[in-house]
Amino acid sequence: MKKGNPIALLPIGVFLVLYLGLGILFEYVLKIPMGFYNVPVVVAFMAAILAACLQNRKLKIDKKLEVMAQGLADKNIITMLLIFLTAGAFVGVTGRSGAESVAYFMLSVIPPRFAVAVLFVVACFVSTAMGTSVGTITLITPIAVAVSEASGFGMPLCVASVMGGAMFGDNLSFISDTTIAACNGQGCDMRDKFRENFKIALPAAAVTLIIILILSFRADTPKVIDNDYDLINIIQYLLVLVGGILGINVFVVLIAGIVTGAAIVLLTGQTTPVDMLANMGSGVSGMFETCMVAVLVAAMCALIREYGGFDALLNLMRKTFKGSRGGQVGMGLLVGAMDIATANNTIAIVMANPIAKEMSQIYGISARKTASILDTFSCVFQGILPYGAQVLVAISAVHSLGNEISAFDIIPNLYYPMFLLLSSLAFIFFRKSANK
């Protein structure tokens, strides 16, 4: 066991103080809407890297640059960046029409009493197909508001059901940035990680659905929710979903989805070629910050590892968590702490990846299990943070429609993240094979 250097972890502390400190200041002191998302995360990481470069004066700056470059010269980093950009292009091409078609189709064929259950199922499907929880919440929350206003269902339950379904897909989708970050960071196949996660997520989703159905029977029978839809718009989503499950290379799946989606929107006259290219550009641009975060974190972590920071953290983990099951809980708490600090589950996974990879080797935990733990626990914490993007976007969408709701109205109804945590712990402690 190498002797670590706890001081080498200072850059992470610098980032957390800047990002979390300014986020709390903006959100709760200055009352700036979406305050945490007004903090430039890239600038915070640049400050952290500067702090890392000022450490260890025995190492010349040229050598430090070389260390950072070696941290970036990793196949997984390059693969992650390319998948992020390709996924952005896919989202730009497909847009909102497919998700809306799925939602309104299911609401039109299911009895009105089960409308909230339908919202949850639709959000599960849409988020899995689109790979974004925030996008799903933005898209379906207005429908949830309409369901609430047309029925006896409470708005917090309707909105929370959408959020729960959105986190289901965020955890499972092949094109979710959390899945991409976890799988490439641990060097595991997305299909293997999906199978591992599905066993954990399905029981949590099933229990959540049962609770929603029980609550639904207490409400008066609502009116039918009726809107236009076009099922041709869901083909590209189904293509990506099925291709991912079958284990086809993620680039092939995404390119097929882009080509199919482009053909559909052009042939049906939903957009022009110029507008479609502009939308693709916007989708790719939306991934730039995530890409820069991945690059900066890789560079920062390379310096921290060189200085002995990871050895210090791993030594602490070894002393605190014993055995394979303890190691898995340690990984979950590690990424959860990162998520609480950053309010961004993708960033949390990227930051936790190198430490978790070394922990997996120490505790003998498979790559797919490690990726699953990182993704699942980050989604658990992200799904219930009152200052997380998911909660804030849902509140904003409700307010934009002239209704009032707070984070603390929604959180008690967030059944899925809570059951996902219980399901994750059950799989860690009661599974026969603790590390496979």
Could you tell me the pTM of the whole model? 0.71
Mean pLDDT of 413-429: 93
Q: Cα separation of 225 and 217, whole Å? A: 18
Q: Cα separation of 332 and 240, whole Å? A: 29
Question: What's the Cα-to-Cα distance from 305 to each of 265, 393, 402, 407, 411, rounded to whole Å?
Answer: 48, 36, 50, 38, 38
Quote the tokens at residue 11.
């850059």
Contact 37, 344 (CB under 8 A): no
Mean pLDDT of 62-68: 91
- 73 class by beta-carbon count within 10 Å (0-12 exposed, 13-18 middle, 19+ buried): exposed
- Asked which of 219-228, 269-278, 337-346, 415-424 is least confident by mean pLDDT, the reply is 219-228
- pLDDT for res 418: 94
The pLDDT tens digits for 194-225 are 888 999 999 999 999 999 998 877 666 555 55
Mean pLDDT of 74-86: 74
Burial 230-240 (b: 16+ CB within 10 A, else e): eeebbbbbebb
Specify whether the backbone of 34 is left (phi greater than 0), alpha (psi in -120 to 50) or beta. left
**Residue of higher predicted confidence among 135 and 395:** 395
The pLDDT tens digits for 348-389 are 888 788 888 888 888 889 999 999 999 999 999 988 887 677
Question: Is the pLDDT assigned to residue 412 strictly greater than 60?
Answer: yes
Question: Is the pLDDT assigned to residue 22 strictly greater than 80?
Answer: yes
Give all strands (DSSP E) within 300-384, no chain letters: none
Contact 351, 342 (CB under 8 A): yes
- Asked which of 35-49, 221-235, 413-427 is least confident by mean pLDDT, the reply is 221-235
Contact 183, 193 (CB under 8 A): yes
Question: For the chain, how many helices (H) and strands (E)?
Answer: 21, 0
